[in-house]
Amino acid sequence: MRFWNGLRLTLEMIKFEHSVFALPFALTGALLAIREHPLALSALAGKLAWIVVAMVGARSAAMAFNRILDAAIDARNPRTKMRHIPAGILTRGFAWGFTAVSSVVFVLAAWALNPLCLKLAPVALALVFFYSYTKRFTTFSHLVLGFSLGVAPAAAWIGITGSLDPRILWLTAAVTFWTAGFDVIYSCQDYEFDRSAGLYSLPRRFGIAGALWIARLFHVVMIGCLLVLAASFALGWLSLAGIGAVVLLLLYEHSLVKANDLSRVNAAFFTVNGYVSVLFFLFWAADMYFRGFKA
C-alpha cells in the first residue's frame, strides 16, 4: 500500500495528465514519417505504441527530476511550497526511484524502436535533465524547456524511419517556440520570487509586460514554422485549418493574461494549450488521411 500511495503521489506531483501537451505533436511527427515511408499495419501499431511509451517515460523522468532538484527552491516560494517534496508528502528517495525507473522505461522503448533511437536516448535524457538547471544561470531557460519538448516530433520521425529528415525540424522549432511562449506566461507568476531568489527568467529580465510581448512573439514564430512545415510536406487545406485553429486558441490564451492581472494564468497554461496540441493533431491527421499516404 505504501508503494501504490507513493506512486499515486508521484503521478500527482509530475502532473502526469499533462503528457497530452507534447504527445500529439510527437504523434504528428510520426504520422508525417509514415506518410513518407508507409509501414505494414502490424509494424505501425508497435512503433506508435513504443513512441508513446518513450514520450511518457522521458517526460515522467524529467518532471520528477525537476521536482527533486527544485525542492529547496520550491520550499521558499509561496506558490510552490506545498508541492509534494518540500511539503514532506513524498520522500526524495521514492522520487529518485521513480526517476530511475522512468529513465529505464524510456531507454527500453528507444531500444525497441531502432538502433539510432537507442544511441540517442542518453542525449535526450541529458537534455531534459539539463533544463532543470538552466533557471540558475540563463534568462532563456524557457527556450531550453521548449527544445526539450520540441525534439519529440523529430524523435518520433527517427523512431519510425531510423533516420532524420530535416523537414521535420520545422515542427521541432514550432513546438520549441510554442512551449517557450506559454512557459514565459506561466513564469510571470514568479516574477517577484525570481528577483528575490536570484533566479533567471524573461519576466525577471524584461518585466511582466515585456515578457508577455516576448511570449506573443514566440507564438508568432511558431505559426510561421507550422506554415513552412505544411508547405514542406505539401499538405492541404485541413492542415491550414488546423493552423488557423491554433492561431485562434493562442489569441484567446493571450487575451486571458494581462500584465496587471495574472489571475487566469492557469486557464491559459493548462486548458488552452491542451486544446492547441490535440486540435492541431486532429486536423493534421485528418489532412494526411484524406490526402492519402505515399505508395
Neighbours of 92 (CB within 10 A): 11
> pLDDT tens-digit profile of 15-49?
888 777 789 999 999 999 999 988 777 788 899 99
Write down the pLDDT at residue 47. 94
CATH 1.10.357.140 fits 2-291, yes or no: yes
Write down the pLDDT at residue 21. 77
Average of per-residue pLDDT values in the chain = 94
Q: Per residue in 216-236, is it b (16+ CB within 10 Å) or e — as a string?
A: bebbebbbebbeebbebbebe
Residues written for the chain: 295
Question: Cα torsion for 233, 271, 87, 132, to the nearest 10°?
Answer: 20
For residue 23, give the C-alpha cell: 504527445
Q: How much is the pTM?
A: 0.95
Write down the pLDDT at residue 268. 76
Write down the pLDDT at residue 293. 62
pLDDT (mean) for 46-64: 95
**Which has the higher per-residue pLDDT, 20 or 70?**
70
Write down the pLDDT at residue 294. 56
Indicate whether 295 pLDDT > 70. no
> pLDDT tens-digit profile of 159-186?
999 999 999 999 999 999 999 999 999 9
Q: Where are the domains of the chain?
A: 2-291
Indicate whether 118 pLDDT > 50. yes
Number of alpha helices (DSSP H) and beta strands (DSSP E) in the chain: 13, 0
Neighbours of 19 (CB within 10 A): 17
